[in-house]
Structure 1
Amino acid sequence: MATSTLPAHFALFAVALIYGANYTIAKIVMGDGYLQPLAFILLRVISGVVLFSLFHRVFVREKIDRADLGRLALCGLLGIAANQMLFFSGLSLTTPINASLIMTTTPILVLLASATLLGEAVTGRKIAGIAVGASGAILLIAQGGALSFKGDEALGNLLVFLNASSYGTYLVLVKKLAQKYQAITVVKWVFLFGALFVIPFGWPQLAQTEWHTFSLPIWLSVAYVLIFTTFFAYLFNAYALKSLNASVVSIYIYLQPLLAAVIALAFGQEELSVVKLLSGALIFSGVYLVSFRAQGGRRKLEKASV
């Protein structure tokens, strides 16, 4: 009997919740200029290397095959360095609405990459699920305005799209490693290689950081990003990829703006509306269609093909 994939889905929901809260928390740090974007990225990567290496040494101590070093390095480049630096660089030139709308292409790119690189079946259910989920996410995000290309926004939009492409390819490439090794082993090496690519770009900004200006709320916000958005989010994603298709993992990105809105509602920063309720219904329907499949008259959580 196959092992239940429910824990993997719970892990992905936790990732979406972490990122949903991160929109508000990270903005406190960067919005007030405490940490410049590339400095924050380097701080995240260094913290990831330290935390993952420590936990790996204490709990796992799993060795990797030399033949996998190349794939790990590529995952570090695409999933850590290019993913984060392209996003922040693009966001500095375009608007948050543009960036959020463009990021909804990630599951589509993952589906295409999975079919090309892994030979995963592109089923009608997956296409329908991505379409329904994307419509809900776009409906929710587009309340703030439509996609625009004024001035430097066109270049910013391109960089964000390249970020979505790099992250989507990373999810596909890292899947083979996630199935072969424990999650903590994979993310340790991915962050180690990612750090090598980020250091030359992030170090100049990190060296300029005025640490003495940080108040307790700022330090707590930084700690959240380093521990939850970095450590747990990447670890949970790698864990989920051990038993789920990359396309299933990527569809959960549509929950992020919804959970961000729910958190904002909880803090009284937004008001409940029909659009938010409809968006939520569409997003959860899309996640359901991609994550579950019909077999033997029953609905079962979709498992990855090995």
Structure 2
Amino acid sequence: MTSPLTPANALMLTVPPLLWAGNAVVGRVVSTMVPPITLNFLRWLIALLLLLPLAWPVFRRGSGLWSHWRRFALLGLLGIGVYNALQYLALHSSTPINVTLVGSSMPVWMLLIGWMFFGARVTGRQVGGAAFSIAGVLLVLSRGEWQHLLALRLVPGDLFMILATIAWSVYSWLLAQPRDPPEIRRDWSAFLMAQVAFGLLWSGMFAAAEWQLLQPPPVQWRWPLVAALLYVATGPALIAFRCWGTGVQRVGPSIASFFNNLTPLFAALLSSAFLGEAPHWYHGLAFVLIVGGIVLSSRR
């Protein structure tokens, strides 16, 4: 049974898109320093090392990790191995505006997958909320001038982001299924470690395939890359995943998905801050539309 969208739950679900917006900016900056799938592997390797002091008991014999390994292997594959690798790959081969536009389809995929595979009922309020939310995203991407959207062209990287969005939607619905051992479900660090452990294995295999098949240039180990790795391993990985998992369990995947559309708005504001530009009128209107979609979809 899900909880209402209280201010505490709303704040919990606002933290991930803010951190993921920074992740998109950082991922684009370091795209020439490290191959995309290798970046994902290094990110989660650092995250595992940071989690280890808190969640090492999850690896003990008799832990629920081993009795439920198939579930955690699937969560690690979708949420850590597939989604993050495809996202970095999309940022490497497509423009940030295209990637953000494709990612704004998250509420639609979340509602569709929930209805098709998890028996979720789609209400008119949720459809209306999705329309409001996506309109806000399109307003940011068009910079208030709709003809800019007509100039967009899809490239292979956009297909990677579509697949990533679908994977994240399935991952979020699986999070909402209460099938985890109680001792792991109650401890956020253990619950995240159970996913990271298997996700790191998937990421390692994908990175090995990247080096074997694509033979990318060597990693450019410089301080900007080290700082970027520390950020993406702590903020967008540990903190964001912890907040997203808790938020999804509280309010359900359908409502939580609308908060994902705050990511492009935060990304636009962060880009403006780095470029020294002031926010524009359409940022404020987009915020009203996105929040309006969240409120409309969450009303009971």
**Same fold by TM (over 0.5)?**
yes
Q: What code does the residue aligned with 1:99 have?
A: V
Q: Which residue of 1 aligns with 2:107?
A: 107
Aligned pair in 2 of structure 1 residues 178, 104: CA closer, same or farther (>3 Å)? farther
Counterpart for residue 203 of structure 2? 198
Give the letter aligned to residue 159 of structure 1.
F
In structure 2, how many angstroms separate the alpha carbons of the residues matched to 1:76 and 1:142? 35
| Contact 1:94–1:156 (CA under 8 A) maintained in structure 2 | yes
> Which residue number in structure 2 is paired with residue 248 of structure 1?
255
RMSD between aligned residues: 2.8
2:8 aligned partner: 7
- Offset, 1:268: 4.6
Name the SS of the counterpart of 2:152 in structure 1: coil
In the TM superposition, 1:214-233 aligns within 5 A as: 214-215=222-223, 217-233=224-240
* Deviation digits for residues 122-173 of structure 1 (CA, Å, limit 9, x no counterpart): 1111111111001110221234654313xxx1x3322221111111111111
Per the TM alignment, residue 74 of structure 1 is displaced from its structure 2 partner at its CA by 1.2
Equivalent AA in structure 2 for residue 93 of structure 1: S
Q: CA deviation at 1:51?
A: 2.5
CA contact (8 A) 1:186 1:238 kept: no
How much has 1:67 moved relative to structure 2? 5.2
What is the rounded CA distance, in whole Å, between the counterparts of 1:97 and 1:113 in structure 2? 25
Q: Which residue is equivalent to 2:50?
A: 51
Determine if contact 1:178/1:238 at 8 Å carries over to the other structure: no
Distance, in Å, in 1 between the alignment partners of 2:216 and 2:95 is: 24
Q: CA deviation at 1:220?
A: 2.6
| Higher mean displacement: 230-239 or 170-179 | 170-179
| TM alignment of 1:56-71, pairs within 5 A | 56-57=55-56, 63-64=63-64, 68-71=68-71
Deviation at 1:267, TM superposition (A): 4.0
- 1:130 alignment counterpart: 130
State the alpha-carbon separation in 1 of the partners of residues 73 and 168 from structure 2.
14
Partner Cα distance (1:103, 1:37) in 2: 18
TM-score relative to the length of structure 2: 0.83
Q: Report deviation, 1:29.
A: 2.6
Matched residues, number? 283
**Contact 1:28 1:218 (8 Å CA) reproduced:** no
Q: What is the match of residue 98 of structure 1?
A: 98
Q: How does 1:1-306 map to 2 (within 5 A)?
A: 5-30=6-31, 33-57=32-56, 63-64=63-64, 68-143=68-143, 145=149, 146-149=151-154, 153=155, 155-177=156-178, 181-182=185-186, 183-203=188-208, 204=211, 208-211=218-221, 214-215=222-223, 217-290=224-297, 292-294=298-300
Contact 2:16 2:243 in 1 (8 A): yes
Gaps of 5+ in 2: none
Cα drift, residue 201 of structure 1 = 2.8
Match of 1:304 in 2: none
Moved more, 162-171 or 96-105: 96-105
Contact 1:15 1:237 in 2 (8 A): yes
Q: Which runs of 5 or more residues in structure 1 are unaligned?
A: 295-306
Q: Which range moves more in the overlay, 199-208 or 73-82?
A: 199-208
**Shift of the alpha carbon at 1:225?**
1.1
Task: Note the C-alpha offset of 1:244.
Answer: 1.4
One-letter code of the match for 1:209? V
Distance verdict in 2 for CA 1:269–1:178, change over 3 Å = farther
Cα distance, 1:135–1:44 mapped onto 2, change above 3 Å: same
Distance 1:201 1:78, change over 3 A: same
Letter in 1 for 2:83: N
Give the aligned residue type for 1:273: H
How many Å apart are 1:21 and its aligned residue?
2.4
Cα distance 1:51–1:175, how it changes in 2: closer, same or farther (>3 A)?
farther
| Residue type at the aligned position of 1:200 | M
Distance in 2 (alpha carbons) for counterparts of 1:101 and 1:267: 21
- The one-letter amino acid of 1:245's match is G
Deviations 1:65-99 (A, max 9, x none): 65532222111111111112222333433322222
